[in-house]
Structure formats: structure tokens, C-alpha cells
């Protein structure tokens, strides 16, 4: 039953994921034996190759409180200044005359000021943004030294000991998800809190979200909340025409969001 929905959206990804991961996980299992199989993978009896992470964002649940932004900055030691964000929240206001205005004061970290002239507003909503952990990541493609790379579980990471700070990846990211860390002079971005998810924990932004707008999980695991979201809601990704194949999926996403 789940397969019907998923086949429509991820045949290529799943195929790629399996092709990529099978030899890798086989190698890991061979070397490390039972230790290598993570708790998550064995819990529901699924294969290690199903460790392929994604995030779902339920736009209609986000209240723009900015707790996710705050948690992300604290958890990942992101510079406090409002020019560096691993995740941020945008507010879209669609007016009666069709005009759209967008704002994200301080990345939404302290929430949003009340709207002025509310009678003219047709509708308004919040959209949390973060690195889309693309399956076909342009940032990885352009890195001249391979300092940014995709892990076997599908997360795009930056090796800050290797990055030369050329910033080509920042130019290549269609989503504005990357910044140059002013302290290390290397590129940085959301890691899905890799240090946490490795331990079986949730990313900080997901953990603190009071409304459950963010759903994190393994794309391949049959019984995960992410999988349920995928089954129940039509999902969209940002800028699908660029063929970056994001692994951050939005439900109830408005066409105005770019």
C-alpha cells in the first residue's frame, strides 16, 4: 500500500540509494560485524540500507515561533548574528490584491511581529527552511576539492578541515542554505544534526517544534512518522525544476514559496 504512493515520487532515489548503499553497508557489516548495525535499523527488523534520511515539513502546522531557529543555533554553535542560519522561518503574506510579501526578521528566531492592515490579507503562513539535503546536490558537484560530500545515509556534509573557502558551493545552492562561517572561513550548513541522528536522536529543530510541524525520519523505513506523512499528504519539494531532488518535503506548500 505504501509502495503505490512512494513509487510515484521516489523510484529513482530509492534505486540509487540501494545501489549506493548495498556495497557500502555490506563492507561495513563485513568489517565491523554486528556492531555496525544501528539500533534503529534492527528495531523494526529493516536493513541498514534503509538508513536514508529525509524531513517532512507540515506548512499548516508551523506557527512561526522560531524555536527551531533558536535550537539550531544553540545545538550547532551557529554564529548568533542574523546573517548565518542553518535553518530559518519565512512568513508569506498574500494580500487581497494578489500581492505577496515575504519576511524573515532575524531569520524568525524571535518570532514575527503582528501584521499591519490585516483586513487586506487573503492568507498568511510560515515556511521553515533548511538545507534540502538534495539527492542530486549541486553544492557537492561544484566543490573543487570534494570537501562537501553526501554520506551513505544521504546527508550532505562539509569537511571543515578540508574546505578551502572558495564559496562556489554557496553560489551553487539554489536555496540559500549555505553560509561562510566567519570563524573558520569555511562553508557551513544544516547537517540534519548528524551528531544527534547518529545516536538515534532527532535533529534539534524537530525536537523542539511545539506543533510537530517538522517530521524527521528514514525515507526507507516503513513504520516511521515520515513515512506516514508521505502516505497521507501530497508532498512537494522546493524548485523541483532544478532537478536537485530535495529530501526535505513540504505538505500544503503554497505555489508562492521559492
Binding stretches for another protein (CB under 8 A)? 81-85, 88, 90, 100-104, 106-107, 129, 138, 141-146, 162-168, 170-180, 182, 184-186, 242, 258
Pairing of strands 186-188, 179-181: antiparallel
Which residue, among 252, 242, 188, 250, has the nearest Cα to 56 in the 3D structure? 250
Closer residue to another protein (CB): 114 or 144: 144
Closer residue to another protein (CB): 158 or 219: 158
- Sole residue written with cell 561544484: 142
Closer residue to another protein (CB): 228 or 239: 239
**Phi then psi dihedrals of residue 57, to 5 deg:** -125, 120
Q: Tell the smallest beta-carbon distance from residue 94 to another protein (Å).
A: 13
Q: Tell the smallest beta-carbon distance from residue 231 to another protein (Å).
A: 30
Contact (CB, 8 A) for 237 and 248: yes
Closer residue to another protein (CB): 129 or 196: 129
Which residue, among 113, 128, 157, 124, has the nearest Cα to 69 in the 3D structure? 128
Strand-pairing partners, residue 236, are 250
Q: Tell the smallest beta-carbon distance from residue 84 to another protein (Å).
A: 7
Closer residue to another protein (CB): 38 or 160: 160
Q: Tell the smallest beta-carbon distance from residue 103 to another protein (Å).
A: 6
Q: Tell the smallest beta-carbon distance from residue 142 to another protein (Å).
A: 5
Q: Tell the smallest beta-carbon distance from residue 141 to another protein (Å).
A: 5
Half-sphere exposure of 141 (CA within 13 A, CB side): 9
**What is d(CA 204, CA 194) in angstroms, rounded to the nearest whole number?**
10
Q: Tell the smallest beta-carbon distance from residue 50 to another protein (Å).
A: 27
- The DSSP string of 29-80 is HHHHGGGGS-HHHHHTT--GGG--EEEEEEGGG-----HHHHHHHHHHT--S
Contact (CB, 8 A) for 66 and 109: yes
Closer residue to another protein (CB): 52 or 84: 84
Closer residue to another protein (CB): 175 or 216: 175
* 138: DSSP letter: H
Amino acid at each position: 500500500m505504501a509502495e503505490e504512493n512512494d513509487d510515484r515520487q521516489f523510484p529513482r532515489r530509492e534505486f540509487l540509494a540501494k545501489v549506493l548503499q548495498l556495497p557500502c553497508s555490506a563492507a561495513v557489516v563485513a568489517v565491523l560485524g554486528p556492531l555496525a548495525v544501528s539500533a534503529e535499523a534492527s528495531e523494526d527488523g529493516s536493513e541498514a540500507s534503509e538508513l536514508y534520511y529525509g524531513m517532512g515539513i507540515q506548512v499548516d502546522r508551523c506557527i512561526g515561533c522560531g524555536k527551531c531557529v533558536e535550537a539550531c543555533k544553540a545545538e550547532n554553535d551557529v554564529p548568533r548574528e542574523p546573517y548565518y542560519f542553518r535553518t530559518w522561518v519565512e512568513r508569506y503574506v498574500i494580500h487581497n490584491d494578489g500581492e505577496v510579501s515575504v519576511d524573515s526578521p532575524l531569520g524568525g528566531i524571535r518570532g514575527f511581529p503582528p501584521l499591519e492592515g490585516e483586513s487586506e490579507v487573503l492568507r498568511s503562513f510560515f515556511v521553515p527552511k533548511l538545507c534540502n539535503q538534495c539527492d542530486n546536490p549541486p553544492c557537492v558537484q561544484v566543490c573543487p576539492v570534494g570537501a562537501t560530500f553526501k554520506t551513505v545515509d544521504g546527508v550532505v556534509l562539509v569537511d571543515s578541515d578540508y574546505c578551502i573557502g572558495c564559496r562556489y558551493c554557496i553560489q551553487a545552492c539554489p536555496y540559500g542554505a549555505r553560509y561562510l562561517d566567519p570563524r573558520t572561513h569555511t562553508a557551513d550548513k544544516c547537517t540534519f544534526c548528524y551528531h544527534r541522528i547518529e545516536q538515534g536522536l532527532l535533529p534539534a529543530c524537530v525536537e523542539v517544534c511545539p506543533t510537530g510541524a517538522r517530521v524527521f525520519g528514514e525515507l526507507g523505513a516503513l513504520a516511521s512518522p515520515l513515512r506516514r506523512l508521505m502516505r497521507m499528504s501530497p508532498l512537494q519539494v522546493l524548485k523541483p525544476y532544478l532537478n536537485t531532488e530535495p529530501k526535505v518535503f513540504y505538505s500544503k506548500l503554497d505555489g508562492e514559496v521559492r
